[in-house]
Amino acid sequence: MQRLGIYIHWPYCKSKCPYCDFFSRVQKNVDQKEIIKGYLADLEYYRSLNDDYKVESIFFGGGTPSLIEPRYIAAIINQITSLWSCSDSLEISLEANPNTNHNNLFSDLKSAGINRLSLGVQALNDDDLKFLGRTHSLSEALLSIDSVLHNFDNHSIDLIYARPDQDRQSWQKELSMACSFGVKHLSLYQLTIEENTVFARKGIKSADDETSRNLYSMSEEILSEHGYSRYEVSNYAQSGFECRHNLGYWRGYDYVGIGNGGIGRLHIGGKLYNTFYPRQQELITPKERAEELLIMGLRVREGINKSCFSSQCGINFANIINLQKMHQFCQQGLLINTPTNLTATASGNLVLNYLIEQLINL
């Protein structure tokens, strides 16, 4: 049976962060019962399209899915486990914000079936939390982290770096603090100013490229010293605590997407489709699939397995890659090419988007 991930997208937030360009809505009062009813029906619909799946992971993302009442989260999990065959080690993740924490929230989420909690902290000082538009304070974040650690064995926190005027000393202080918590996983995202965000309209600039590269390189050094390994460009974990759901994306496995902002990749009748709300399907061509596999595959530590690549898209790896550019980048120490895999080096990760753009031979 093929492995399958299921992504549940909750688009609602208490407030819109000024750097965020994800699909989300600020709406305080929504009919959760009716929305979840639609989610349950969509799960049943997607189950009917393919029998050859075993669910390995469920991920509640957003938006702010910790706003969903735990009883409805339990209903979604129960629906999935009743419809599909599921792994004995099913990973069930949920993203939460410290500003949604209240008495017993995390214990209630655990009781609902969540076994991995990812907390959107983003910064570990009050000035930068305010700058990033976060509605929680450092003290509230620390209380939430304590609660997460108390209730879950598998946990992660998100941080944003390359903020304006951020220097090595301040980032080192935050990273050291993050490592001291004992969380199993850390996601470090470089601040990028996207179009149509509040930051873009205000003309906010992130740190310059050289500073960003230095902060990125320093991050890996510090986290490695504390037992975290980088397994993807922005993600670090203690051994055995990599996010299996996200690895499914990067390795090209199928997934169902539920909710207004949820997209999926699903085999139907032997062909691969992009699925999106509401129950729409769009055929993915072999060339489109190959490009996607290249973009995603170079992000992970092991890189692209050429044999898997060919079986997933039906095109020989050598026919997709610009071989001249690949050899050039290998000579420059940006890529490592073996008979089985193509992998980005630490230096290559710093310019990964450029490498991918140059490598695609479509």
Distance, in Å, from the CA atom of 253 to the CA atom of 300, rounded to the nearest integer, reads 14
DSSP annotation of 300 reads B
Look at residues 119, 9, 96, 125 and name the one whose alpha carbon lies nearest to residue 60: 9
Look at residues 146, 92, 87, 86 and name the one whose alpha carbon lies nearest to residue 115: 92
User: Would you write out the chain's pLDDT as a tens digit for each of its 362 residues?
Assistant: 899 999 999 999 988 899 998 777 887 789 999 999 999 999 999 999 999 999 999 999 999 999 999 999 999 999 999 999 999 999 999 999 998 777 899 999 999 999 999 999 999 999 999 999 999 999 999 999 999 999 999 999 999 999 998 999 999 999 999 999 999 999 999 999 998 899 999 999 999 999 999 999 999 999 999 999 999 999 999 999 999 999 999 999 999 999 998 999 999 999 999 999 999 999 999 999 999 999 999 999 999 999 999 999 999 999 999 999 999 999 999 999 999 999 999 999 999 999 999 998 65
Distance, in Å, from the CA atom of 240 to the CA atom of 246, rounded to the nearest integer, reads 14
Under CATH, what is the fold of the domain 2-247? TIM Barrel (3.20.20)
Distance, in Å, from the CA atom of 3 to the CA atom of 1, rounded to the nearest integer, reads 7
Which pLDDT value is given to residue 15? Answer: 86
Which pLDDT value is given to residue 362? Answer: 54
Q: Sketch the domain layout of the chain as residue ranges.
A: 2-247, 303-362
Which pLDDT value is given to residue 116? Answer: 98
Block residue for tokens 């209630």:
108
Report the side by side order of strands in the sheet with 235-237: 229-232, 235-237, 185-190, 155-161, 116-122, 85-96, 53-62, 2-10, 254-258, 263-268, 271-276, 280-283
> Would the CA dihedral through 354, 229, 291, 159 be positive or negative?
negative
- Cβ neighbours of residue 245 under 8 Å, at least 6 residues apart? 5, 7, 56, 57, 58, 59, 91, 93
Locate 71 and state its tokens. 């009883």
Contact criterion met (CB below 8 Å) for 80 and 6: yes
Locate 266 and state its tokens. 């699903």
Which pLDDT value is given to residue 137? Answer: 95
Look at residues 103, 251, 231, 212 and name the one whose alpha carbon lies nearest to residue 156: 231
* Rg for the chain, CA atoms, rounded: 21
Which pLDDT value is given to residue 264? Answer: 97
Look at residues 22, 27, 92 and name the one whose alpha carbon lies nearest to residue 56: 92
